[in-house]
């Protein structure tokens, strides 16, 4: 019961935000928050629920972004076609990599996914004439020229993707994923096809990340190697873990919090990245399970008083 | 022609140059409760791992109702009707007791992604009631004591509706009191028609359960008979207890 109240509240806030916020800059930031919320929570499906720590999320985000960018730049394919296609290409990449990488676990999986994610960024350098190299491609068509419309599109995408993630994780399927995270051997022993579940989950995660990546490309009107670089994967993992692994909601909130933090830190120029990662480290030291579990248990304590 | 519910022929596994399991032939008949003993490192757990697909054998057959499952992946062996527990309990620690069993039910029955796990609550509760965990279904599995974890492993394994249940050292780490709870439980499962194979170090307890005992030593099956036969077998006594004849506490 209580849970639904919070969901309704979050939905309402998402809905009314642009009515109260008149600053274009802030609304633009909120759009970014919505996109990052999908980046991070889609990672959490694999990282937090099946316990497979992947450093390959940049591949799916960047894969989706480049799919959209290239199709739109060279063939003028409209966003409502490139966005789902971005998801499909990312899902195909996830399938390809997942089938091989998910044979290994733990640090090995982290390394294999990281190495795999380093490949396409090299391709953008090799085929710089088409990809624009380090500069990427500019002049991608916008989703809408109106910032409020763009905001509502991003919010709708978040509700859709977030809804899918929340639904999956709270279903029987999510229970099976958690059993794999807790004890893979025991899952096999009760008859779960662990490999199959891992790969399917990886593909779903990649699909959602790819969609968000393609959306991001049309929002920035640009696609470049920044989102495709393995370093971006590291950032995704850091941000998601700071939010609270295995919660979906945590990484979403973390997206909001850290995007705003990142923006506030603009004044600090050269020290920005240092302070930013410093804050994440402090979060993880103070509440190792992440922000959301810490806040949630705090609220529970106050409410039950 | 296979007659047993579980028929093992020429099962062999090498680890490097070591013969972990060496040409083992065993037939488990309907209704049996068979014990497996042997000194440390004799290959008992490897024997279970080979049957259940956690380790792929180098040779031999594992016939389950006539189907050779040797080398199959674990989840397929389970679906064929062979389930197991572990020497060191393996819980889904962050899940509730009842959810531990529900996962096993989901694996057996398949699931639509839309399905809620609530549909299985009733059946899972009934399974937990049989092992005496019905008052703990809402607790986290990780918070259970060792005795209750053993019961939960049994509950989870039976939820897969096995024909043959392999139990690996069910009494290790348990108090005498907990052992006295577990013995009748295992006997009950056997009486209800479950064919059971148990590895156990506590011979006195094992002899109370099993009417037939297999003895492994250095990967070879050196004896297969009633507890009386086993205790009088010279090779077994030598391998297991040293040169002096020991007291097995056989009935």
Mean pLDDT of chain A, nearest integer: 94
The ipTM of this complex is 0.91
Locate the chain B residue with the closest alpha carbon to A179: B92
Read off the tokens for A218: 């049309």
Locate the chain A residue with the closest alpha carbon to B101: A190
| b/e code A106-144 from CB counts within 10 Å (16+ = b) | eeebbebbbebbbebbeebeeeeeebbeeebbeebbebe
As to burial, measured by CB atoms within 10 angstroms (0-12 exposed, 13-18 middle, 19+ buried), residue A73 is buried
pLDDT tens per residue, range A31-66: 999 999 999 999 999 999 999 999 999 999 999 999
3-state secondary structure of B196: strand
Read off the tokens for A300: 């529970």
Contact A58, A230 (CB under 8 A): yes
Distance CA B174, CA B11 (A): 32
Distance CA A186, CA A202 (A): 21
Looking at residue A214, what is its pLDDT? 98
Contact A244, A250 (CB under 8 A): yes
Who among A171, A178, A188 is closest to B95 (CB)? A178
How long a stretch of residues is chain B? Answer: 251
pLDDT tens over chain A, length 305 residues: 567 888 899 999 999 999 899 899 999 999 999 999 999 999 999 999 999 999 999 999 999 999 999 999 999 999 999 999 999 999 999 999 999 999 999 999 999 999 999 999 999 999 999 999 999 999 999 999 999 999 999 999 999 999 999 999 999 999 999 999 999 999 999 999 999 999 999 999 999 999 999 999 999 999 999 999 999 999 999 999 999 999 999 999 999 999 999 999 988 878 888 899 899 999 999 999 999 999 988 888 888 76
According to DSSP, the residues that pair with B19 across neighbouring strands are B14
Contact A94, A153 (CB under 8 A): no
Using the beta-carbon criterion (under 8 Å), do B103 and A168 form an inter-chain contact? Answer: no
Map B26-85 to HEC letters.
EEECCCCEEEEECCCCCCHHHHHHHHHCCCCCCEEEEEECCEECCCCCHHHHHHCCEEEC
What is the DSSP code (8-state) at residue B133?
-
Distance CA B108, CA A82 (A): 40
Closest Cα in chain B, distance from residue A193 (Å): 6
Read off the tokens for A263: 């923006």
Looking at residue B243, what is its pLDDT? 58
pLDDT tens over chain B, length 251 residues: 447 899 999 999 999 989 999 999 999 999 999 999 998 889 999 999 999 999 999 999 999 988 999 999 999 999 999 999 999 999 999 999 999 999 999 998 876 655 666 778 999 999 999 999 999 999 999 999 999 999 999 999 999 999 999 999 999 999 999 999 999 999 999 999 999 999 998 888 899 999 999 999 999 999 999 999 998 888 888 887 665 545 555 44
Q: Does B157 touch chain A (CB under 8 A)?
A: yes
Distance CA A152, CA B4 (A): 66
Distance CA A206, CA A212 (A): 10
The total of other beta-carbon atoms located within 10 Å of residue B233's CB is: 18
Locate the chain A residue with the closest alpha carbon to B80: A191
Mark out the alpha helices in A45-78 (DSSP H runs). 57-75
| Cβ within 8 Å of residue A19, ≥6 positions away | none
Closest Cα in chain B, distance from residue A166 (Å): 12
Distance CA B105, CA B110 (A): 8
Looking at residue B106, what is its pLDDT? 92
In the sheet that holds B164-168, the strands lie side by side as B82-84, B164-168, B195-199, B33-37, B212-217, B220-225
Using the beta-carbon criterion (under 8 Å), do B78 and A176 form an inter-chain contact? Answer: no
Contact A49, A169 (CB under 8 A): yes
The total of other beta-carbon atoms located within 10 Å of residue B153's CB is: 25
Q: Does B95 touch chain A (CB under 8 A)?
A: yes
Supply φ then ψ for residue A168, to 5 degrees. -60, -45
* Residues of chain B numbered 18-77 and touching chain A (CB < 8 Å): 52, 54, 73-75
Who among B54, B78, B93 is closest to A190 (CB)? B78
Beta strands in chain A (DSSP E): 137-138, 222-223
Q: Which of B152, B169, B206 is nearest to B47 (CA)?
A: B169
Q: Does B139 touch chain A (CB under 8 A)?
A: no
Map A196-262 to HEC letters.
HHHHHHHHHHHHHHHHHHHHHHHHHCEECHHHCCHHHHHHHHHHHHHHCCCCCHHHHHHHHHHHHHH
Distance CA B128, CA B76 (A): 24
Looking at residue B1, what is its pLDDT? 46
Q: Does B83 touch chain A (CB under 8 A)?
A: yes
Distance CA B65, CA B2 (A): 7
Residue keyed to tokens 């052992």: B179
Q: Work out how many CB contacts closer than 8 A connect A with B.
A: 90
Contact A14, A158 (CB under 8 A): yes
| Cβ within 8 Å of residue B97, ≥6 positions away | B128, B133, B136, B137, B138, B139, B140, B141, B144, B152
pTM: 0.93
For residue B117, the chain A residues in CB contact (below 8 A) are 171-172, 175
The total of other beta-carbon atoms located within 10 Å of residue B79's CB is: 17
Looking at residue A156, what is its pLDDT? 97
| Cβ within 8 Å of residue A270, ≥6 positions away | none
Read off the tokens for A98: 């997942």
Contact A38, A165 (CB under 8 A): no
What is the DSSP code (8-state) at residue A66?
H
Read off the tokens for A125: 């350098």
What is the DSSP code (8-state) at residue B191?
H
């Amino acid at each position: 019961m209580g849970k639904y109240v919070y969901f309704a509240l979050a939905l309402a806030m998402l809905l009314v935000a642009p009515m109260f916020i008149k600053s274009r800059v802030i609304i633009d930031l909120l759009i970014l928050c919505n996109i990052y919320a999908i980046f991070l929570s889609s990672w959490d499906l694999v990282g937090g629920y099946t316990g497979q720590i992947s450093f390959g999320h940049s591949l799916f985000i960047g894969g989706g972004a480049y799919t959209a960018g290239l199709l739109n730049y060279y063939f003028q394919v409209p966003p409502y076609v490139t966005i789902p296609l971005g998801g499909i290409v990312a899902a195909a990449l996830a399938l390809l990599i997942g089938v091989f990488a998910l044979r290994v676990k733990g640090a090995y999986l982290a390394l294999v996914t990281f190495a795999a994610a380093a490949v396409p960024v090299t391709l953008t350098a090799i085929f710089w004439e088409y990809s624009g190299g380090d500069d990427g491609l500019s002049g991608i068509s916008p989703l809408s020229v109106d910032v409020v419309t763009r905001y509502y599109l991003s919010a709708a995408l978040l509700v859709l993707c977030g809804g899918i993630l929340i639904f999956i994780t709270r279903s029987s399927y999510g229970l099976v994923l958690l059993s794999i995270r807790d004890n893979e051997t025991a899952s096999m022993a009760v008859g779960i096809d662990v490999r199959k579940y891992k790969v399917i989950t990886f593909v779903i995660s990649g699909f959602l990340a790819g969609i968000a990546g393609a959306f991001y490309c049309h929002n920035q009107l640009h696609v470049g190697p920044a989102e495709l670089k393995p370093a971006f994967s590291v950032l995704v993992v850091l941000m998601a873990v700071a939010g609270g692994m295995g919660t979906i909601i945590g990484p979403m909130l973390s997206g909001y919090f850290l995007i705003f933090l990142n923006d506030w830190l603009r004044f600090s120029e050269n020290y920005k990245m240092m302070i930013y990662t410093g804050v994440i480290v402090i979060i993880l030291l103070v509440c190792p399970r992440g922000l959301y579990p810490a806040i949630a248990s705090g609220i529970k304590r106050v409410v039950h008083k | 022609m296979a007659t047993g519910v579980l028929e093992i022929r020429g099962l062999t596994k090498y680890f490097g140059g070591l013969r972990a399991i060496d040409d083992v032939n065993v037939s488990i008949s309907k209704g049996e409760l068979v014990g497996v003993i042997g000194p440390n490192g004799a290959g008992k757990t490897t024997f279970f791992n080979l049957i259940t697909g956690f380790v792929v054998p180098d040779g031999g057959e594992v016939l389950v109702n006539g189907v050779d499952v040797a080398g199959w992946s674990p989840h397929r062996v389970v679906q064929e009707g062979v389930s197991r527990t572990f020497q060191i309990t393996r819980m889904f620690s962050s899940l509730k007791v009842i959810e531990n069993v529900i996962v096993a039910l989901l694996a057996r029955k398949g699931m639509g992604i839309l399905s809620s796990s609530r549909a299985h609550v009733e059946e899972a509760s009934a399974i937990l009631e049989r092992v005496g965990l019905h008052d703990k279904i809402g607790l986290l599995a990780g918070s259970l004591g060792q005795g209750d974890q053993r019961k939960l492993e049994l509950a989870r394994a039976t939820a897969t509706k096995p024909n043959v249940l392999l139990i690996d050292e069910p009494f290790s780490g348990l108090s005498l009191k907990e052992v006295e709870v577990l013995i009748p439980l295992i006997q009950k499962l056997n009486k209800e028609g479950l064919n059971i194979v148990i590895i156990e170090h506590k011979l006195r307890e094992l002899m109370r359960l099993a009417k037939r005992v297999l003895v492994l030593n250095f990967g070879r099956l050196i004896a297969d008979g009633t507890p009386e036969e086993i205790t009088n077998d010279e090779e077994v006594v030598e391998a297991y207890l040293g040169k002096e004849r020991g007291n097995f506490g056989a009935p």
